[in-house]
Structure 1
Amino acid sequence: MTAVPTTFRAAANGGRSMETPGQVRPSPIEGERGPGARPSFRPRVVVKLHDWVDVPYEDGVERYLLDEFGPGPLGDAGEDLVFTRLYTSVSPGELARLVETAVERDSSYRPPRFTAWFTVEAPRGMRSEELARRLLEWDVVESARPDAPAVDPLVNAADDPLSVNQGYLDPAPAGIDAEFAWAVAGGAGAGQRVVDLEQGWTLDHEDLAVHGGTLLFGTLQNGSRPHGTSVLGEICAVDNTVGCVGIVPEIDSIDVTSHSGSLSNVPDALVGALPSLGFGDVLLLEVQTVTPAAPVFGAPVELIDDCFEAIRLATALGVIVVEAGGNGSNNLDSITNFAGLQVLDPASPDFRDSGAIIVGAATSGTPHVPMSFTSFGNRVDCYAWGENVQTCTSDILGSTSIYTSVFSGTSSASPIVTGAALAVQGVVQAAGGRRLSPAQMRRLLSAPATGTASNSPATDLIGVMPDLRAIIEGPLDIGLADVYLRDNAADLGAPHNGSVSSSPDVILRPETVPDPQTAYGEGSGTENSSTLGHEAVAGQDNVIYTRVRNRGAAIAGPTTVTVFWSEVGTLVTPDMWNLVGAAPLASVPTGDVLTVADAIVWAAGDIPAVGHYCFVAIVETADDPAPTLASLVDFDNFLAFIRNNNNVTWRNFNVVPSSGPAAPEIVMPFMVAGALDRDLLMDLEVVARLPEGARLELEAPDFFLERGGLGKVQGHRDGDLVRVPLRPHGRQLVARFPFPEKFKLRLRMFAELPEEVWNRSGYQVTVRQFLEDPERELGRVTWYFAAPEFYKRRSRFEDCLFGER
């Protein structure tokens, strides 16, 4: 739901680049080198410095390291070291912007420190393996690996039987049924964009030239022209009177980025493509591991740490990454990386998920049997033809009119899955739906119910081959579900700048309602009411009803709303959330129809003491999952979760006594909190709109007020607590405090109003917490005083807790 920066392509822009007027795109192959092109393989080591090592991200940082830390185990060889940034395809500022955007878009993404990665040239006379060993012994180095030549994941085509047709386009079970997708709006790839990462192509081939492909980064390797041309031919060969036809022949844009023949260039070539890719675009990784750069040959490149981090950045940005599984006959459940970790085994505690779609290879005939060379394992999502693929090809001189019928390997399988992803995205977009995220696309393409199983799925472990007809007619239904809880009565599920914690869709009642759908659902007359229930009566069971809308193009299947309660605060972090319960809905129809979930009974013994509190409600369904809560300990992810997801909302409420006398003064307790993962300087401000003659006081520990900038405070003391008077009108900064990590502090305000205004409404007090700049508000609590609640000496509070977004 984040607005897409202008340097990224937005789906609403028809999938075209937002280029500066007058900007000229380079020719398809300009001098056989793209921007930032690097030479091909040479002996060097890929190094990651520890995060605590503070050096500028620039070439030549060895001078800082040697001056600060000495050469250590490198000895005299340290004088010959030359450190170069691993990421040269974008500036450090652009890299930081990509990371910031990724965090905003993907609340589960926890970025590494990309500026810790460098390459180091091996000094003359020293092997890269020896340099890597010495570097690993240096205190400042976290990891080091020798570079290696990068090779295309290609199998000897002479060993495979010939075929003269493109059976992979046919209906399942033979192929992916691209022919059906062509008959559906968008299914031939209109409006879509793909970037292929490998090292050689003939972009002016007669079946490709119309697409106007550009080399974005790196150096074209002539020896790999046949490989890259075949890959692109599978994806998008045009529908003309010559040659073959691609899976998505009407695609808007194809571009390429080259690793220039060196494995260490893969992450740089990938990141170099990201500024030209938007949410929902596709990037194909046609490369595999190669000895000695990894413990095994022919595995997915995400086995290597720096490659993994670049892929994860891409998927966090919303780019769909399709990754060749490799041709090393590897069981991904058992292989390990340099650290001995089983990072590709989903059952292992070492597992890490890049978000990419990993592809294996199978025979062209049915039933589809895994090719002998393919990688396999529970991490493999999909398979496709690994032999007998007819497509375009070229030669080292760049021939523009030749073809092959024997392209093979995970090289030939991965473009088929890439084409399927582009076809699905095109159908969704043409139907007016939201472009699919990497996670949504992976679930769709790998779902057993809409894919062709291999011969023995339980032992083959290569996933399924997507069936476009089954996907389009089944779960896609020309769109997906998009369930949401409203933040306020005007919320339509899109990004907005209104309140995020006055939700009308969390309804607290002291008793059950016989027919909640009639009482609160579509057509009830209460659809936009925010006053249906905000008080729990102490000493008895209470009931919570939630209601959901679906603005997507497909009916949402089984849906769950989970509700938590928290103490009220200016920043309600997840460690403050207490589970109330979950409510199911069998389905949520399309058309923004307000649908009420089953009641959640809140047992009397679980209800907190009389006071002010907050509900947090989260809705999710299989097509529209909520972000994982485990990621929210990271403050940046937490802010993105609050601001960028329509699956979550807040609603403030009171617990009131079942009977008893009114309090002698209005007491407003609340909590202030720090981030869960770092110390941060934050401000606390009170904004009061009380009548003339009113009294307003803040009670806080003297250390908080004094360290917060008020100096030695004066006021009524009770031990370490001080009551200080505040202005009853206008704004007042009460603290600029260095909030420690995981800091929590309970505070109270007290108010008293002249008796002559007790029957009037419209008075309020707000506490805001922000990061120095008032525009960077983190959260707020607002108390509204309104008759008759105020007359009874109770404050009513139901405004914005997390501020504007």
Structure 2
Amino acid sequence: MEKELEFMRRNYPDILKNEPPYIAVRFSPNVKLTYNDDGIKQLIDRQFAPIKRLLTKYPGIRMKRLYQALSTDRLEELIKKAQATDETYRPGPFFNYYKFEHDDPALLPAIAKDMQQWKEVEQAVVYVPAPDPFVNAANDPRAVNQTYLNEAPGGIDARYAWNFAGGDGQNQRLVDLERGWTFDHEDLTAHGITLLNGTIRDGSRAHGTAVLGEITAVDNTIGCVGITPNLTSVRTTSYHGSTIPDAILAAIAAMAFGDVLLLEVQVFVPGLVNMYGPAEVLDDAYEAIRLATALGIIVVEAGGNGTNNGGTPPFAMNSYVAPGGNAILNPGGAGFRDSGAILVSAATSAAPHTRLSWAPHGQRIDNYAWGENINTLQSNDSAATSLYQTGFGGTSGASPIITGAVLAINGIAEASLGFRFGPRQMRALLRNPATGTAPSPAEATQISVMPNLRQIIDNLLNITPDIYVRDFVGDTGNPHSGAISASPDVIVRPMAEADPQAAFGEGSGTEDSNTLGSSVVATTDHFIYVRMRNRGGSVANNVQATVFWSPPASLVTPDLWTLAGSTTLASVPNGNQLTVSNAINWPAASVPPVGHYCFVGIIGNALDPAPEPADFNDWNNFQLFIRNNNNVTWRNFNVVSAEPEPNASVEGFVELPFLLVGAPDKARAFDIIIEGKLPEGARLMFQMPLDFYRQARQYFPKSELAGKNEARALLNPFQQTTLKGMKLPAKYRGKCKLLLYIPKPLRKQAYQLTLRQLYRGLQVGGLTWQTGPRRL
């Protein structure tokens, strides 16, 4: 530790003065001492020869208990409580740790070397304080620049968490461990921040103020806004004029299950020269951290910023072997030990995120976050109260972002679920790759993920509303491979319903009816109702339901949509109860001519947003919306007269016109399947453009030209007809029609005819016709 001492003496003499280096000594269990500051006298009284020789060689040595922040009784009380809280907790040898000091710190390495030879000593490690882990320097005016608050992949989506009770940190408590702060900064003073331990170092005020600004700057129309601006309690614990273990113990003695302790500290890593790492590489600090997590306190720990000698190698945790020979930070290594803390690395602010060159990496890293370009508060040695900055960073900047995420999650959990997550549960939530932002695919080192609060809230907490409209009777809102064009939840009527909920909602007896729609008649006002369910964990407020109509088409792309109207439901209760909207008035002037229609229904609110029509122009999105987005549905359900159309191209047949539609982006191959549930004596023909007919003619046993640019083919009305691999140009619009003949005695009955369009085996479009007497 000679080089580290010289570095600190040259650059941070005030730290050395207030945080004197010491030797952390762990005696073996057979050395039974009363845990007080009179250890040397006890050893001398026991005729312990090595201590007499040491005192002769190095006069002035002092021996004190290492953990001084709490009384022995209070520490024992916390240990017993931790054992009761966490059955996996095995208390460390707290009462075997002592601190040896000397007025000349330069002698400490030699003293430690002598003590390591004693058979009664398991460990003697020189502790030299390290500098702060710092690298570079809404309506709140600077909040727009705090893009780490934004949605993934750029940020953690704190703004989304604010939509939920507790997502702003309400009822949550934080303790920040470092060296200095300006408590009365204009963006912090409302918190009434207090100090639990140690003293404030002026040279560290900028650091601590910036950290607290990221987490909890008040939403006060001034400066920044924190990730969780409404914390119930913000306290600090300083290791300036104290030690890291004591600062931890002083904090946890005042904390409860689910509270959050942030360790904004880095230490020199034992056995490595000039290398910074997390506090837990020191055995005495590890014991205090593990006690905290066993008590249910969530500890977020900065991983440290590499070296102090001008180079930028990171701390490679998987390969680190402590002086005792154990790979203490490698989960797959011998002697691994898990403190239970959430260990944080740092990455670029821009997505896709890559690890910053000096930042630590390894399997033990639980999360990464921004380590540069952080917009937050600033202060100085004069405790300035109105300064701000745009360049905070390091693992010092990354760890507050993770801390804010923890506080938001537990705030929401407590408000909505009635409990707070403990350390193991919280770490599992944050590390989950399914709900976090992975680093760049080019990142070769292990830094885990950056939490995505939207994904965690929606998919792991299950407290958001999940409203859905059904694609078919039996649809439960999950991704499916069933019908996509037979929704029972878009209902059109020629007269308004006095009580839509009673007529169509839960308990109406019509919940699973797919025959509620009426034919649409020109020059007549109509009324459209949308019904939906909410299978989520909370009520959906202010849900907008929008309905479009389209001419019949195999793919109903947005360019075919015409707005029919929209309405807002004040609330849709959770519990999967079928809820019906008020009427969307569809005036006669907006109703197209009598015929066959496709209705597109879209629902959504702020917490379960609806896609925009423009989103459907992307082919990948189009496919996902059809199968996986339960906020969208199609209803190709048409009631037509069974009597022949007077202008039918073939006498005695009903015409069912539609558009055969290609993908919006480029030519793609589709399978077209036509299938009817038709009676004996029925006949079915397919009339199509010549360009399509040339591809499909191999599938038609009998066909003929039907004018200059069309062909007509006879289909088997009792058997499925499949046209495989039909390549349709981008934005193709082929005017087609099915010609259906039903024997006259059977025309008063209803029959169904469907057309499905498949892409790579999955249905992406289709039409459903139902024949029968026209109903008004």
Q: Shorter-chain-normalised TM-score: which range?
A: 0.5 to 0.7
Tell me: CA distance 1:234–1:317, structure 2 relative to 1, closer, same or farther (3 Å).
Answer: same
Question: 2:295 is matched with which residue?
Answer: 317
Q: Paired residue for 2:408, among 423, 443, 446?
A: 423
Take 1:456 and 1:66, find their aligned partners in 2: how far apart are those partners?
Answer: 61
Flag the 1:456–1:67 CA change in 2: closer, same or farther, 3 A: farther
Say yes or no: does 1:227 pair with 2:207.
Answer: yes
Q: Please give the per-residue CA displacement for 1:147-191, whole angstroms capped at 9, x wherever unaligned.
A: 20232111133xxxx998111000011100000000111100000
Structure 1 pair 56–408 and aligned structure 2 pair: CA distance change class (3 A): same
Note the alpha carbon deviations across 1:639-690, whole angstroms, 9 max, x for none: xxxxxxxxxxxxxxxxxxxxxxxxxxxxxxxxxxxxxxxxxxxxxxxxxxxx
Letter in 1 for 2:169: G
Q: 1:426 to 1:137 in 2, by over 3 A?
A: same
Contact 1:147 1:293 in 2 (8 A): no
Matched, 1:50 2:28: yes
Kindly report which structure 2 residues correspond to 1:565-714, keeping only aligned pairs within 5 A, or say none: none
Q: Which amino acid aligns with 2:158?
A: A
2:368 to 363, 378, 383: 383
Q: What are the equivalent positions in structure 2 for 1:401-440 lying under 5 Å apart? A: 401-440=386-425
Q: For the Cα contact (< 8 Å) 1:219–1:258, is it kept in 2?
A: yes
TM-superposed CA distance for 1:294, in Å, is 5.9
1:349 maps to amino acid = A
Structure 2-normalised TM-score? 0.55
Tell me how far 1:74 sits from its aligned partner.
Answer: 2.1
Q: Deviations over 1:432-455 (max 9, x none)?
A: 332101000000011000000000
Q: Give deviations 1:270-322, integer Å, cap 9, x for gaps.
A: 01111111000000011112266865612112111111111100000000000
1: CA distance, partners of 2:22 / 2:356: 34
Quick one: distance in 1 between partners of 2:275 and 2:390? 26
Between the two proteins, the alignment pairs up a number of residues equal to 442
Bigger Rg, structure 1 or 2? 2
- Give the CA RMSD over aligned residues: 2.5
Paired AA for residue 359 in structure 1 = V
Please state how far the C-alpha of 1:458 moved relative to its aligned partner.
6.8
Give the 3-state SS of the residue equivalent to 2:253 in structure 1.
Answer: helix
- In structure 2, relative to structure 1, the CA distance for the partners of 1:86 and 1:443 (3 Å cut) is same
For residues 198-209 of structure 1, what are the structure 2 equivalents within 5 Å? Answer: 198-209=178-189
Q: Deviations over 1:334-361 (max 9, x none)?
A: 1222223211011102211110000110
Distance 1:142 1:210, change over 3 A: same
- Within the candidate set 136, 140, 162, 1:156 is matched to 136
Q: CA deviation at 1:402?
A: 0.3
Q: Using the alignment, how far apart are the partners of 1:140 and 1:198 within structure 2?
A: 34
**Secondary structure, aligned partner of 1:137:** coil
Q: How does 1:516-527 map to 2 (within 5 A)?
A: none
Relative to structure 1, the CA distance from residue 362 to residue 211 in structure 2 (aligned partners, 3 Å threshold; closer, same or farther) is same
Residue 723 of structure 1 corresponds to which residue in structure 2?
none
1:195 aligned to 2:180?
no
Listed one character per residue, the Cα deviations across residues 92-139 of structure 1 (whole Å, up to 9, x for unaligned) are 111001100000000000001211111111265861100111111223
- The 1-side partners of 2:234 and 2:55 are apart by 48
SS at match of 1:341: coil
- Rounded Cα–Cα distance in structure 2 between residues aligned with 1:138 and 1:350: 23
**What is the alpha-carbon distance in structure 1 between the residues aligned to residue 72 and residue 327 of structure 2?**
32
Q: Where does 1:76-475 land on structure 2 (aligned, <5 Å)?
A: 76-77=56-57, 80-122=60-102, 124=104, 127-157=107-137, 165-260=145-240, 265-290=243-268, 297-328=275-306, 329-456=314-441, 459-475=444-460
Q: Give the TM-score, by structure 1 length.
A: 0.53
Letter paired with 1:227: H
For residues 483-502 of structure 1, give each alpha carbon's deviation from its aligned partner in whole angstroms, at most 9, with x where no partner exists. Answer: xxxxxxxxxxxxxxxxxxxx
Q: Conserved in 2, the CA contact under 8 Å of 1:38 and 1:218?
A: no
Aligned-partner residue type, residue 450 of structure 2:
M
Q: What is the Cα deviation at residue 261 of structure 1?
A: 6.5
Give me the whole-angstrom Cα distance separating, in 2, the residues matched to 1:39 and 1:51: 33
Secondary structure of 1:431's counterpart equals helix
Residue matched to 1:669? none
C-alpha displacement of 1:227: 0.3
**Counterpart amino acid of 1:337?**
A
Shift of 1:259: 0.9
Q: 1:201 to 1:391 in 2, by over 3 A?
A: same
CA separation in 1, counterparts of 2:537 and 2:301? 29
Shift of 1:424: 0.1
Cα distance in 2 for residues equivalent to 1:298 and 1:38: 17
- Percent identity reads 48
Residue 256 of structure 1 aligns with an amino acid whose one-letter code is T
Structure 2 unaligned residues grouped into runs of 5+:
1-14, 307-313, 465-535, 539-573, 576-776
| Conserved 8 A contact 1:199-1:261 | no
State the distance in 1 between where 2:404 and 2:378 align. Answer: 17
Change (3 A) 1:224 1:293: farther
Aligned CA distance change for structure 1 residues 291 and 334 (closer, same or farther; 3 Å) = closer
Q: 1:356 to 1:297 in 2, by over 3 A?
A: same
**8 A contact 1:393–1:404 mirrored in 2:** yes
SS at match of 1:459: coil
Larger RCO (alpha carbons 8 Å, 6+ apart): 1
CA distance in 2, matches of 1:302, 1:315: 13
Q: Which deviates the most, 354-363 or 124-133?
A: 124-133
Give the secondary structure class of the aligned counterpart of 1:426. helix
CA distance in 2, matches of 1:137, 1:191: 51
Aligned partners of 2:198 and 2:124: how far apart in 1?
A: 23
